[in-house]
Amino acid sequence: MKTYCFIDASNIIYGTRDDGWKVDFDKLFQYLKNRYECDKVYYFAGIDKKNIKQQNFYKVLGKIGYDLILKKVKIYVQPGGSSVRKANCDVDLTFYAMRDLEKYDRSIFLTGDGDFEVLFKYILKIRKKVIVLGNAKRTAKEIKVIKGLQFNDLKVLKSIIERPVKIEVLK
């Protein structure tokens, strides 16, 4: 069964952070390859050309085997003067999922964003499998109740994909 995976990076990173842990992306990639035999693992995220640490992280992800779809981060100034940094990768993720529709039989989405409801329903309608892995508390209710969709709380995978906490030794 051909399987493609689509990762909504910000949704997963913030979802696990809210639960007090971080994803080890090498372990996640290995899990997706071993458990689901993923043929392709897309990673959708924002990129800030001035952020060297972020660029190095993306280089590592590329070496691991992720197909990186990176979008320039934009800064939005809100009323009151505070700013929000966003890349808005939802359209890109949807585009790739639809573009590659004939290449896979099963799709795995790491997200909890309710904006993907119409995408998931369509993929299911044409008789393809849809699995969503996301933070149960942050996943839109409308996603969890879609008939035929398999939803799994990312927390269940914590022991498998959690990044170990670095302990610094004080001198």
Reported as a single tens digit per residue, the pLDDT across 114-148 is: 999 999 999 999 999 999 999 999 999 999 999 99
Q: What percent of the chain has pLDDT over 70?
A: 96
- pLDDT (0 to 100) of residue 168: 61
Ramachandran sector of residue 58 (left: φ over 0; alpha: ψ -120 to 50; beta: rest): alpha
Q: What is the DSSP letter of 22?
A: -
Has residue 86 got a pLDDT over 90? no
Average pLDDT for 58-82: 90
- pLDDT (0 to 100) of residue 139: 94
Has residue 169 got a pLDDT over 70? no
Give how far Cα 113 sits from Cα of 63, 83, 107, 140, Å: 28, 22, 16, 6
Average pLDDT for 18-43: 96
Do 70 and 46 meet the contact criterion of CB atoms below 8 Å apart? yes
Cβ within 8 Å of residue 7, ≥6 positions away:
41, 42, 43, 44, 66, 109, 110, 111
Q: For the chain, report the end-to-end CA distance as a whole number of angstroms.
A: 53
Note the pLDDT tens digit of each residue in 39-51: 999 999 999 988 9
Average pLDDT for 90-109: 97
Identify the CATH homologous superfamily for domain 3-161: 5'-nuclease (3.40.50.1010)
- pLDDT (0 to 100) of residue 164: 87
Distance between CA atoms of 54 and 36, rounded to whole angstroms? 28
Average pLDDT for 77-89: 77
Q: Report if pTM > 0.75.
A: yes
